[in-house]
């Protein structure tokens, strides 16, 4: 709870694109939309396993032994960016188009400890 209180005291993200007029909600919303799409499509659509039933996202399995250290760092950085982005959108009360699966949310929130609890 203390972390949320600290985050709420921080200023909301306000985006201004270079060489474009305007700032505030419009450009900020456009930034959140573009970043959502980029995270959804990250790593040539290999970062996420997309549910064919409802189109929600769940991380794809990764064989860390088959990846170079540079590629592993890239994937780790992408997930860190996604987590930071989701947290900032929650704190700023911004809706984002990043359909994380309900199972993923349950795992992140500690409601379940593995995939077998969902059956």
pLDDT above 70 for 100: yes
DSSP string, 50-87: EPTTT--EEEPP--GGGS-HHHHHHHHHHHHHHHHHHH
What band does 95 get if pLDDT is binned at 50, 70 and 90?
Answer: confident
Q: Which residues touch 8 (CB under 8 Å, ≥6 apart)?
A: 91
Instruction: With beta carbons less than 8 A apart as the criterion, state whether 34 and 44 touch.
Output: no
> For residue 24, what are its two tokens?
């505030």
Per the prediction, the chain carries an average pLDDT of 80
Instruction: With beta carbons less than 8 A apart as the criterion, state whether 63 and 49 touch.
Output: no
The CATH class of 2-118 is: alpha beta
> For residue 97, what are its two tokens?
């188009």
Per-residue pLDDT tens digits for 3-56: 555 555 567 777 777 887 777 777 888 888 888 998 888 777 678 887 768 888
Domain boundaries, the chain: 2-118
């Amino acid at each position: 709870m203390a972390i949320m209180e600290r985050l709420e005291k921080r200023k909301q993200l306000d985006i201004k694109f270079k060489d474009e007029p305007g700032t505030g909600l419009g450009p900020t919303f456009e930034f959140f939309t573009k970043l959502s799409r980029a995270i959804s499509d990250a790593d040539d659509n290999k970062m996420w396993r997309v549910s064919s039933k409802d189109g929600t996202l769940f991380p794809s399995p990764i064989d860390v032994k088959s990846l170079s250290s540079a590629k592993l760092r890239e994937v780790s950085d992408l997930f860190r960016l996604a987590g930071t982005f989701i947290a900032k959108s929650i704190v700023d009360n911004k809706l984002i188009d990043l359909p994380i699966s309900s199972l993923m949310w349950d795992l992140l929130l500690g409601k379940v400890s593995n995939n077998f609890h969902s059956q």
